[in-house]
């Protein structure tokens, strides 16, 4: 029996919270589909990494110091991104923007090093057309690099929005999604560093 007394306090669903939950769920689904994409690329590389067509293999080309530097840059950018998220929960605009800006610079440095590596390979005559191994390598690592580049563009847009709008429900929701995306890319790169670079030197 429903209590219809006038003193009963009525509660209604918060539309912002409902939208937030749907967005986060949808973004988790997107990340899972992206994980399937990368799993396919990892499997392709695993099959083709010995198909060098008589050319250089992983042990001949890969530089552990360079790939380790890339790893450290992405790990620190993920850490600073998390600090920016914590600052945003406290509505500390200055600190949030500082950590977001630092994350952007670290991510940009990562992409720069990756492009330097790719350019070096191509200039030495080891492009994606040289062998199946290099085709799968450029596809896997390049796809991750494109994701990071998109993340940097996303972060730049978020930076501007927070400067102009501050922390609204929408900007906070977008920042949460960005952090999920950025940490996901960090995790994928750890697998790349281990599976491609470290195992390639064994």
Cα(166)–Cα(49) distance, integer angstroms? 48
Q: Is the pTM of this model over 0.85?
A: yes
Closest CA to 38 of 195, 197, 200, 202: 195
Question: What pLDDT does 198 receive?
Answer: 93
Cα(62)–Cα(118) distance, integer angstroms? 11
What is the residue-level pLDDT of the chain in tens, covering all 202 positions?
444 444 444 343 444 556 677 888 899 999 999 999 999 999 999 999 999 988 889 999 999 999 999 999 999 999 999 999 999 999 999 999 999 999 999 999 999 999 999 999 999 999 999 999 999 999 999 999 999 999 999 999 999 999 999 888 889 999 999 999 999 999 999 999 999 999 987 7
- Complete domains list, the chain, with CATH: 63-200 (1.20.120.80)
Question: What pLDDT does 170 receive?
Answer: 87
Q: Average pLDDT of the chain?
A: 90
* Contact (CB, 8 A) for 177 and 27: yes
Question: What pLDDT does 29 receive?
Answer: 94
Q: Rounded to the nearest 5°, which phi and psi values hold at 65?
A: -55, -40
Question: What pLDDT does 200 receive?
Answer: 87
Question: What pLDDT does 158 receive?
Answer: 94
* Contact (CB, 8 A) for 201 and 64: yes
Closest CA to 188 of 152, 158, 146, 156: 146
Question: What pLDDT does 54 receive?
Answer: 86
How many other CB atoms sit within 10 Å of the CB of residue 50? 11
Cα(71)–Cα(144) distance, integer angstroms? 13
């Amino acid at each position: 029996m429903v209590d219809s007394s006038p003193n009963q306090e009525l509660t209604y669903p918060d539309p912002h919270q409902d939208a937030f939950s749907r967005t986060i769920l949808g973004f988790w689904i997107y990340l899972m589909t992206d994980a399937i994409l990368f799993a396919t690329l990892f499997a392709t590389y695993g099959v083709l990494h010995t198909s060098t067509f008589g050319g250089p293999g992983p042990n001949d080309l890969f530089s552990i110091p360079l790939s380790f530097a890339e790893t450290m840059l992405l790990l620190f950018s993920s850490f600073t991104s998390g600090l920016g998220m914590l600052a945003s929960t406290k509505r500390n605009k200055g600190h949030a923007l500082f950590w977001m800006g630092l994350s952007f610079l670290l991510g940009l440095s990562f992409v720069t090093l990756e492009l330097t590596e790719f350019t070096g390979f191509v200039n030495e005559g080891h492009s994606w057309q040289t062998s199946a191994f290099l085709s799968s390598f450029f596809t896997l690592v390049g796809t991750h690099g494109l994701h990071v580049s998109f993340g940097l563009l996303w972060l730049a847009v978020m930076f501007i929005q927070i400067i102009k709008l501050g922390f609204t429900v929408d900007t906070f929701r977008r920042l949460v999604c960005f952090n999920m995306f950025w940490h996901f890319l960090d995790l994928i790169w750890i697998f790349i560093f281990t599976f491609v670079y470290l195992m390639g030197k064994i």
